[in-house]
Structure 1
Amino acid sequence: MTLGQLRTFALVARLGSLHAAAEDLGVSEPAVSSALAALRQDLGDPLFVRAGGGIALTPGGRALADYAQDIVGLADQARWEVSNAKNDAGQLKIVATAPFAEHAAGRLLDLFTKRVPGAAVDVVVESAEELGSLLQERAYDIALGARPTAPSRTAVTGLRIEAVPFLRYQRAVVAAPGHPLGQLHGPVSPAQLLGRPWFAGPAGIQETTEEGRWLSSVGVMPEIIRLSSETDALAAVRAGEGIMLALGHIVRAEIQAGTLVRLPVVGTPVPGLWWASTLDHRRTTTMAQTLQRFVSTADATAAMVAPGGSRGLERRGPKFHVALWS
């Protein structure tokens, strides 16, 4: 039994066709048949039978299919780890959603790089909808913020995503005390907020986030004005220009001081979770696993909710970055 034979069988089992597997591998169909024949002889099981223009796995074939996929995945991961070990031993590529990057990434990663010798991280901000595919394409090692929406195992890559929740938050609708909505007493229907500008950061309010799902559930489609950061959006709200779904721990002091008013909107505050997501632990990097464990510690939580902003977002080309930590 060789890795090449297992790779061929795993592909045939997934595609259900020797011809399709041959095309995918870029070899002839007789070459696929030869690899499978050797495997069948070695294991003493037919593994599959011809059926309806394709194949049907035998019980032994079904048992082997799962093992073959895992073995091939581990081999690919080992090859990737070895090829990247020389130059990127401590480099960690992080993709994050904009709210997390703005409000928590700086303090979290400052602490992480102090605690983990040799760690060097770079953060790029992408939309919540892109996180799953970017992880499965290995463009990044770990995603922080919204939970990836990709399925747990894709038909194309067979790579699972492991998501770990690490920080609960709430978003409340806030306005300036002098804003017309600031004088309303509860309960306030979300429909009463239509016709007023809603401010948000560069990501807006994405459908796959808890805030986006809340808006969909109440059937409200407000006018969203995106600014370069949630800090700028909050400044516009503070100036009386509109309202905002703001992070509760960010605006708590201002609400207590009376410089902002929390509107008693039905269904708010909206609860949410930030997640740390990687490929499954046999296929991700050791440094990504280390950060995934670290984000749920008490020290990490204290750093993320502490007063004071991160180093901020920086636009490089079409993407936002957070400063490099090393």
Structure 2
Amino acid sequence: MTLSQLRTFALVARLGSLHAAAAALGVSEPAVSAALASLRQDLGDPLFIRAPGGISLTPGGRALADHAQNIVGLADQARWEVNHAKNDAGRLKIAATAPFAEHAAGRLLDLFTKRVPGALVDVVAEPAEDLAGLLLERAYDIALGARPPAAAGTPGVEPGLESVPFLRYQRVFVAAATDPLGRLHGPLPVGRLLRRPWFAGPAGILDSSEESRWLASLGVVPEIIRLSSETDALAAVRAGEGVMLALGHIVRTELVSGALLRVPVAGTPVPGLWWASTLDQHRTTTMAQTLQRFVGTADATAAMVARGGSRGLERRGSKFHVALWS
């Protein structure tokens, strides 16, 4: 039994397909089959059987899958710590969902790097549905924003991860100050808005979010126009082009000044939570644990909801990076 074989099996078990695992590893499918054949022979168990659309693990395969993921994770962690022990011990690789990256990451991590000597951060916005896999593969140390959704059929958080809620927010419907919706008295059924364009940032309305669950409970599937940022989406709303489910603390000043109006839709505001997620405590890094604790402090909350919006967000290619400064 080799680490390479375990890595291959762990990926096959997670993806449910030899073909998908081969593509992820950048090798041929026969190479994956050969690695698994050696593992099956060594352990005396078929580990999986072919099934429509992929594979189905045997009881022995399910038992091995957990061990394989842990062993591969520990090996990757050891390699990372050895490679970074001298020069990069304080560097954090952070994945953030797009709304958090845009509206809170800059101020939060600016404060964190000032409070924690030696802390260096690199932040990339990633899709919520990819967070669990990216953390388990150790592509990132911590994920901020949406809670990583568990695999289909698995309740709660993905096994092997620890998610801690740290900031409550509310989404409210907003429209331009001159919009005729402002003359209507609520609560309005959400169906009244379905003929209007709905704007959102690049993530749209996340499937794993409270906003998505609220819409699903109403049986409503609006057509969402995604723009490059929620800031651009708000600009379109101000111009009278449509409506938006905006973060309440971001638009509070404009609602008070009358630059935007709140549309009194039944069931709103929609509450939500942002989460800090890491590998479980036995496998995560000390710096990731430090940030996970820090995000729940009063100072961190004050920084994230401070007036004036976020700062430090720039876009490179198809991903967002947060550049921090003092």
State TM-score, norm by structure 2.
0.77
State the partner residue of 1:92: 92
Query: 2:76, 2:138 within 8 Å by CA — same for their partners in 1?
Result: no
State the partner residue of 1:112: 112
Q: 1:56 to 1:126 in 2, by over 3 A?
A: closer
| Separation in 2, partners of 1:73, 1:152 | 22
Partner of 1:140: helix, strand, or coil? coil
Residue 317, structure 1, aligned to residue 324, structure 2: no
Residue 167, structure 1, aligned to residue 167, structure 2: yes
| Separation in 2, partners of 1:96, 1:206 | 13
> Over residues 8-59 of structure 1, what are the superposed CA-to-partner deviations in whole Å (9 max), with x where a residue is unaligned?
8xx89xx9xxxxxx954774777x36xxxxxxxxxxxxxx999xx99988xx
| Separation in 2, partners of 1:320, 1:298 | 27
The residue correspondences of 1:140-179 to structure 2 (distance < 5 A) are 140-151=140-151, 160-179=160-179
Runs of 4+ residues over 4 Å off in structure 1: 22-30, 53-57, 64-76, 151-154
Query: 2:73, 2:138 within 8 Å by CA — same for their partners in 1?
Result: no
Query: 1:74, 1:282 within 8 Å by CA — same for their partners in 2?
Result: no
> Over residues 66-106 of structure 1, what are the superposed CA-to-partner deviations in whole Å (9 max), with x where a residue is unaligned?
89986775565334422332342111111101111111111
Partner of 1:207: helix, strand, or coil? coil
State the partner residue of 1:222: 222
Give 2:284's aligned amino acid. Answer: T
| Separation in 2, partners of 1:195, 1:55 | 50
Partner of 1:144: helix, strand, or coil? strand
Q: 1:23 to 1:214 in 2, by over 3 A?
A: same
Q: 1:28 to 1:267 in 2, by over 3 A?
A: closer
Query: 1:94, 1:142 within 8 Å by CA — same for their partners in 2?
Result: yes
Query: 2:312, 2:325 within 8 Å by CA — same for their partners in 1?
Result: no
Tell me by how many angstroms 1:118 deviates: 0.8
Query: 1:122, 1:325 within 8 Å by CA — same for their partners in 2?
Result: no
Tell me by how many angstroms 1:275 deviates: 0.3
State the partner residue of 1:237: 237
Query: 1:164, 1:275 within 8 Å by CA — same for their partners in 2?
Result: yes
Query: 1:152, 1:160 within 8 Å by CA — same for their partners in 2?
Result: no
State the partner residue of 2:19: none
Q: 1:224 to 1:115 in 2, by over 3 A?
A: same
Larger CA deviation: 65-74 vs 96-105: 65-74
Query: 1:113, 1:325 within 8 Å by CA — same for their partners in 2?
Result: no
State the partner residue of 2:305: 305
> Over residues 228-261 of structure 1, what are the superposed CA-to-partner deviations in whole Å (9 max), with x where a residue is unaligned?
2111211221222211101111111221222221
> Over residues 176-220 of structure 1, what are the superposed CA-to-partner deviations in whole Å (9 max), with x where a residue is unaligned?
231122221111000010110111111111222111221222122
Tell me by how many angstroms 1:311 deviates: 2.5
Tell me by how many angstroms 1:223 deviates: 2.5
Q: How many pairs were matched up?
A: 293
| Separation in 2, partners of 1:319, 1:235 | 21
What is the RMSD computed on CA atoms of the aligned residues? Answer: 3.6
Larger CA deviation: 97-106 vs 69-78: 69-78
State the partner residue of 1:249: 249
Query: 2:110, 2:324 within 8 Å by CA — same for their partners in 1?
Result: no
State the partner residue of 1:190: 190
Query: 2:106, 2:313 within 8 Å by CA — same for their partners in 1?
Result: no
Tell me by how many angstroms 1:310 deviates: 2.3
The residue correspondences of 1:278-293 to structure 2 (distance < 5 A) are 278-293=278-293
Mark the runs of 5 or more structure 1 residues left unpaired by the alignment. Answer: 16-21, 34-47
Give 1:293's aligned amino acid. Answer: R
| Separation in 1, partners of 2:217, 2:116 | 42
Q: 1:111 to 1:152 in 2, by over 3 A?
A: farther
Tell me by how many angstroms 1:313 deviates: 3.2
